[in-house]
């Protein structure tokens, strides 16, 4: 289902700039843009400028090395390698203060699936969103899932595996639908709170995220499940599995630094 184009997008494209709308603000500070939107803009640029009919998006890595102020942005891309089976692309986001984020994308040529089987994550044992209650969220819908696979009635405790479903509420760019690849890039930033949310609440902000994809998701809803968390000295490493209604389609690794949400 295409996004409702009557709903205001996060950005309007004006010339070679992307002008943000109010709901593009970060939950960490009203003076910042939400980091996940930078990943979405870079994924869109890769898809529009470097996608190929027989190429699959195998990896997309985003480095969020500088807080972006709430200002118009510019996106540039560069094709680093274009081989017979591999295409590599670099992307950069620039604001008025200079570069604020970068990404690298690896596209691989599709071929026949080999014979045999390997262990894989099972189909998700959680209720689908259509069986759940009303979602929560600001800027996007999400359903917190408890340890029994049902909609949580309270926030995560940090003692069990964190899980959620999420769905975009706004288009990324005014007048455009969100593609499966861009949808994945937007959702993947949520791997940080899913992996790192502990008994003390949200204590880490991610400085990157890296998605590895076997395929693109089907439908508008993406599920994220924590597959591991390690932290020491205020630095955290997390790993999540990405799902759609038909099963797992990729993984996301995320690095984060201690930075509690202002109360």
User: What is the per-residue pLDDT across 156-169, written as a single tens digit (0 to 9) for each?
Assistant: 766 778 899 999 99
- The CATH number of whichever domain residue 92 belongs to comes to 2.40.160.210
Predicted pLDDT at 262: 58
Please state the domain count of the chain.
1
Cα 98 off chain centre by: 23
User: What is the per-residue pLDDT across 205-263, written as a single tens digit (0 to 9) for each?
Assistant: 899 999 999 999 999 999 999 999 999 999 999 999 999 999 999 999 999 999 866 55
CA distance 171 to 61: 22
Residue 90 is assigned to a structural domain of this protein: yes
CA distance 96 to 238: 32
Strands 86-95 and 163-168: unpaired
The helix, strand and coil proportions of the chain, stated in percent and rounded to the nearest 5, come to 15, 45, 45
Residue 160 is assigned to a structural domain of this protein: yes
Give the structural domain span for 40. Answer: 11-110+128-258
Residue 147 is assigned to a structural domain of this protein: yes
Residue 237 is assigned to a structural domain of this protein: yes
Reported pTM: 0.92
Residue 121 is assigned to a structural domain of this protein: no
CA distance 250 to 212: 6
Radius of gyration over every alpha carbon of the chain, rounded to an integer in angstroms: 18
Contact 211, 184 (CB under 8 A): yes
Residue 216 is assigned to a structural domain of this protein: yes
Predicted pLDDT at 2: 46
CA distance 198 to 88: 36
Residue 95 is assigned to a structural domain of this protein: yes
CA distance 213 to 194: 18
Residues of the chain short of pLDDT 70, as ranges, are 1-6, 153-155, 157-158, 260-263
Residue 122 is assigned to a structural domain of this protein: no
């Amino acid at each position: 289902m295409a996004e409702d184009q009557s709903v205001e997008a996060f950005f309007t494209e004006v010339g070679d700039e992307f002008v943000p709308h109010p709901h593009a603000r970060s939950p960490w500070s009203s003076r910042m843009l939400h980091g996940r939107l930078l990943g979405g803009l870079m994924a869109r640029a890769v898809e529009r400028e470097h996608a190929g009919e027989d190429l699959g998006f195998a990896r997309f890595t985003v480095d969020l090395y500088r807080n972006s102020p709430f200002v118009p942005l510019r996106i540039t891309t560069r094709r680093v390698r274009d081989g017979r089976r591999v295409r590599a692309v670099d992307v950069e986001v620039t604001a008025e203060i200079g570069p604020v984020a970068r990404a690298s994308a690896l596209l691989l040529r599709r071929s026949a699936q080999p014979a045999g089987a390997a262990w894989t994550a099972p189909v998700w044992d959680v209720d689908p969103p259509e069986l759940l209650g009303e979602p929560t969220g600001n800027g996007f819908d999400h359903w917190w899932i408890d340890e029994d696979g049902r909609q949580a009635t309270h926030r995560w405790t940090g003692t069990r595996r964190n899980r959620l479903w999420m769905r975009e509420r706004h288009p990324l760019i005014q007048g455009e639908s969100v593609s499966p690849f861009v949808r994945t890039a937007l959702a993947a930033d949520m791997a940080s709170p899913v992996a790192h949310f502990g008994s003390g609440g949200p204590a880490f902000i991610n400085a990157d995220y890296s998605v590895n994809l076997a395929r693109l998701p089907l439908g508008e809803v993406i599920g994220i499940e924590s597959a591991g968390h390690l932290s020491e000295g205020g630095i955290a490493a997390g790993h999540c599995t990405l799902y759609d209604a038909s099963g797992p389609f990729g993984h996301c690794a995320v690095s984060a630094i201690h930075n509690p949400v202002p109360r």
